[in-house]
A and B are shown apart, each in its own frame.
Chain A
């Protein structure tokens, strides 16, 4: 087991410690080449070593939860798919599961073939998401060759998704009560063929990552998250599994068709607790996902893919858990016997994992901050929500929270004062 190399914070400094600050602050974001979406980490750096990292989210709050209250369930499936650009399908599964769970109180049941189709698409999505992450991580450590090659192989999965659903990003496969598109035999054959190729490729990348020295040098003993800390900080998904915490909603609380192959399901864990562990876990998970898809394609039942659901969802409060590629995704639905949700609350895995990043960064080199941040596969636009900044530091700028009426008053005052102003 690797020990966390803790750097002594505030250790006695030689020389003039009063006139020179020991640490200086480097902002990571909101604009940074390593970040695909805006977020902010304030890194306190001693030389090249990070002693503290403070996350600050809330740059891309989109108000999706509030918007969901104004739309019907069917329209909401389209809406929640837009929460994330990479793991879009799992959001619509999650909401559909929640709504169907409420409908099940009245004896409603979703056809099994639809559940299989949903699960197959979800696993395809996991494959493309994990390979995408592998490429991004390789880019962060400056290994662009692996980045390009892995994204080339990701195209196989993207082609399959396009073949099944007609889209490469938002698949629009789900409807309350089933699936919107069926799969024919030629599509199934093509998928079986491509899955074999993907497995072969991923085995190759596994070999590369396990044996290539520079990758090991950059990822081993970097971003250490001990199992106890992972539990304390409520890490989910591959982040937790890479710390040896065997949690996976697909196994612990099967939804859709996952219950059918629970006996061949492996919860992939690895125990080196660092970024290297995350790489290994994700690659093996990709291979496992290919195997599950092949099993499902061989055992997919015949039958209808859709059963018309009643328009109104009975009053209930449903917590729907699903395993997104990044971890456990929670949709909390409060229905009130109308065709629109009364309240929908979404917690994406990045929100659960973001506190682990600060823990992982401490004691590491500045050069490792981006690979550590990328290692949780962050998706900030999905998790972002409105926040209130509480600033207790008197040296910094004052933070104010304005209500809508105050904003309107400010706007009116400004325009009265600047009547001649032109753009």
Chain B
């Protein structure tokens, strides 16, 4: 823990791969999302700011910062301000734990999955509080919907996260990525994990409040729901927070199921050795960092594209339809598969995957 380590960590948190990089990739993913969503609808999408409108999300954010910030008299003003700040801060903190430039995150300890589980729940709680503080008749139904949606999607997300932890026998994201490197395959190709991956994507869509699960903010029904009273800077913070949450969910999915920032070295042991070798060398370490970052960006973008497709394909559900779907189908199925994972997977895994692992055995 010398001075250089401290400086590097602080610079990492502030710029790369911390706040600056995360916000950039969040805005980039919003642009990807908007462009792809527009293409699915036979539209053009953002077009003017920057190359093909790539700066449009940033322009929107800056415009919102300059807009008038109105606070209703009946509202809890400090509550509104604090929820907006925390709404931005919590996803940023959570993103520091995601491995982006290395197989370990910027911050990492044994058991950080538990912290991330807590942080995802905190995001939902912040949304609930944001609606509650704004004291609006249209925000109230949105808040109630957000709260009931929270209960329904949080359980499948946690089960999926813990299923991966159970499968890889590790409670840290770094350990999960290492397990995937050692096993020469992403967790996704481990038997029941496909189901958990789908459940995770579905629940992420619900957590991000995107169609068909944009029930708490349904604009045509309750005028934006919990965010109806937020304007100006606070709305800008919440919009940026939504983008960051999207990157966080996609990044978590990538880490848990798709091998994190690693790529082809999973199947080419010599390349993996070379990468591990150059990490110590100061000049060549940049190559490794760039490689890992590119892999992470590509995989995250693929997840974002899947989420966008889901957004374009369906009509919005009603809250009671969503709850029924969640409690009657998603949660029982997830629980059932979780139990199967617990008892049978280590056994079947040895039988089926031993052949696969033999292919890549390092001499």
- Residues of A whose CB lies within 8 Å of any CB of B are 24, 26-27, 32-34, 45, 48, 138-146, 148-149, 152, 212, 214-215, 217-218, 365-370
Contact = CB atoms under 8 A, between A and B. Distances in A.
Given A143-B314, A143-B315, A365-B320, 10 more contacts: A26-B141, A34-B221, A138-B315, A141-B315, A142-B214, A148-B42, A149-B41, A214-B315, A217-B317, A365-B319
A367 B315 contact: no
The residue among B224, B315, B317, B321 with the most chain A CB atoms within 10 A of its own CB is: B315
A218 B318 contact: yes
A356 to B, nearest CB: 20
B362 to A, nearest CB: 48
Interface of B: 40-43, 137-138, 141, 144, 211-212, 214-215, 218-224, 312-321
A139 B313 contact: no
B318 A215 contact: no
Contacts of A140: 220-221
Nearest to B211: A142
Nearest to B223: A33
A366 B215 CA distance: 12
Contacts of B215: 367
A362 B278 CA distance: 69
Contacts of A214: 212, 314-317
Contacts of B224: 33
A192 B238 CA distance: 51
A141 B219 contact: no
B41 A143 contact: no
A82 B41 CA distance: 32
Contact of B222 (A24, A139, A146, A366): A366
B220 A142 contact: yes
Interface of B is mostly: loop
B315 A212 contact: yes
Contacts of B137: 24, 26-27
Contact of A142 (B40, B43, B316, B319): B316
Interface of A is mostly: helix
Nearest to B42: A152
15 contacts: A24-B137, A26-B138, A27-B137, A33-B223, A140-B221, A141-B316, A143-B211, A144-B211, A144-B312, A149-B41, A214-B314, A217-B318, A218-B317, A368-B318, A370-B221
B180 to A, nearest CB: 35
B316 A218 contact: yes
Contact of B312 (A145, A212, A217, A368): A145
A323 B43 CA distance: 34
A215 B315 contact: yes
Contacts of B316: 141-143, 214, 218
A212 B315 CA distance: 9
A66 to B, nearest CB: 35
Contacts of B212: 142, 214
A342 B66 CA distance: 56
Nearest to A142: B316
Contact of B220 (A27, A139, A217, A366): A139
A24 B141 CA distance: 11
B317 A34 contact: no
A145 B309 CA distance: 10
B43 A367 contact: no
A119 B245 CA distance: 55
